[in-house]
Amino acid sequence: MADLHRQVVRTENAPQAIGAYSQAVVRNEVVYTSGQIGLDPRTGDIVPGGVQEQTRQVMENLRAVLEAAGSGPELVLKTTCFLADMADFGAFNEVYSAYFTQDPPARSTVAVAGLPRGARVEVEAVALQRASDNS
């Protein structure tokens, strides 16, 4: 029988789940994050500003979840990015690209009719965990 163990990831350094989901789940050394929006983890509010400020917060939230899972941006295999308005793509991409400067992950970007809390951007990721030193 297959090992069905999975690890649920929680960190105070990213917004807490506001529904029936986990910040991330790890299975077989692969990290699956939930989508992150531009919530400030201290206040629970969307950060002020436009799509660039929200994207910066999204990526910091995503980094915090990945690090809590034993991963990081350099180990991301694929992201799925959701924009409330595809006209924001250039501004979004400018900030997003700063987090993946070398060998960026595969990515899908789609426009959606709406995002939670009126957010302009949401990003989810699939990443590898760092190699364990427990060999």
Distances (CA, A) of 98 to 7, 39, 76, 95, 114: 29, 19, 14, 5, 25
Q: What share of the chain is helix, strand, coil (3-state, %, to 5)?
A: 30, 25, 45
Return all residues near 135 (Cβ < 8 A) that are at least 6 apart: none
Q: Which CATH superfamily is domain 7-15+22-128 in?
A: RutC-like (3.30.1330.40)
Contact 48, 38 (CB under 8 A): no
Distance CA 10, CA 35 (A): 14
For 110-133, how does the pLDDT look when each residue is reduced to its tens digit (9 = 90+)? 999 999 999 999 999 999 999 875
Distance CA 80, CA 126 (A): 9
For 72-114, how does the pLDDT look when each residue is reduced to its tens digit (9 = 90+)? 999 999 999 999 999 999 999 999 999 999 999 999 999 999 9
Return all residues near 113 (Cβ < 8 A) that are at least 6 apart: none
| Domain locations along the chain | 7-15+22-128
For 7-58, how does the pLDDT look when each residue is reduced to its tens digit (9 = 90+)? 999 999 999 987 899 999 999 999 999 999 999 999 999 999 999 999 999 9
- CA 70, distance to chain mean position in Å, is 14
Amino acid 76: pLDDT: 98
Amino acid 2: pLDDT: 54
Amino acid 39: pLDDT: 97
Q: Checking DSSP bridges between strand 106-111 and strand 76-83, what pairing results, if any?
A: parallel
Contact 105, 42 (CB under 8 A): no
Amino acid 3: pLDDT: 56
pLDDT at 135 over 80: no
